[in-house]
Amino acid sequence: MNVKLSRQDVAILQHLQEDGRISNRDLANQVSLSPSPCWRRVRALEEQQVIRGYTALLDPEKLGLRVVAFAHVSLVDHHPPTVARFDQKISEAPEVLECFMTSGDHDYMLKVVTRDMSSYQDFLSEKLLSLDCVRTVNTSFALKQKKLSTRLPLQQSADD
């Protein structure tokens, strides 16, 4: 279900995507609201789960996480128990930052981050290929990141 966003809601979300630690007072100034109505709008967006949470973005290189891999996974079948078993194991793997069920040649695409190739090999053999529900894994490695954004393109609702 889509949430209807006003012009001010969109402005609030854009500023929060830019700086999730902005104070309510500064946010209110940026979106031309007084602090109380601004806080109420943010609270409503949180309650509607438009804002799912707040987080810090870490630099993987500075933390020694130098390998970014995209693992294209095919399962042995698509029966609900197989899919549920795979989903559960992937949700428990801290190396997997993102997991998408996909159309096309593979069933899933995983974004995996590890220290080095050896660590990726360990993840692949010990966590992924050891699952009896996984048929094949084809991996592509990122050579250089050209863009990183967590900002979604926002538009206000058409009725507003």
pTM above 0.95, yes or no: no
- pLDDT digit string (tens) for 132-154? 999 999 999 999 999 999 999 99
Give the pLDDT band (50/70/90) at residue 158: low
Residue 159: pLDDT over 70: no
Q: Determine the 3-state secondary structure of 112 from DSSP.
A: strand
CA distance 99 to 91: 9
The answer to whether 59 and 100 have CB atoms below 8 angstroms apart is: no
CA distance 5 to 50: 10
Give the pLDDT band (50/70/90) at residue 75: very high
Task: Please state, for a pLDDT cut of 90, what percent of the chain lies above it.
Answer: 94
CATH architecture group of domain 61-141: 2-Layer Sandwich (3.30)
What are the residue ranges of CATH 3.30.70.920 in the chain? Answer: 61-141
Measure CA 95 to chain center.
Answer: 13
| Residue 36, token pair as written in the block | 């109380």
Determine the average pLDDT of the residues in 116-137: 97
Q: What is the pLDDT of residue 142?
A: 98
Determine the average pLDDT of the residues in 62-72: 98
- pLDDT digit string (tens) for 3-56? 999 999 999 999 999 999 999 999 999 999 999 999 999 999 999 999 999 999
Alpha-carbon Rg for the chain, nearest whole angstrom, is 20
How many other CB atoms are found less than 10 A from the CB of residue 69? Answer: 19
Q: Return the CATH fold of 7-47.
A: Arc Repressor Mutant, subunit A (1.10.10)
CA distance 13 to 31: 10
Mean pLDDT of the chain: 96
CA distance 113 to 63: 11
Strand partners, 73: 108, 137
What are the residue ranges of CATH 1.10.10.10 in the chain? Answer: 7-47
Determine the average pLDDT of the residues in 105-113: 98
Q: What is the pLDDT of residue 90?
A: 98
Q: What is the pLDDT of residue 42?
A: 98
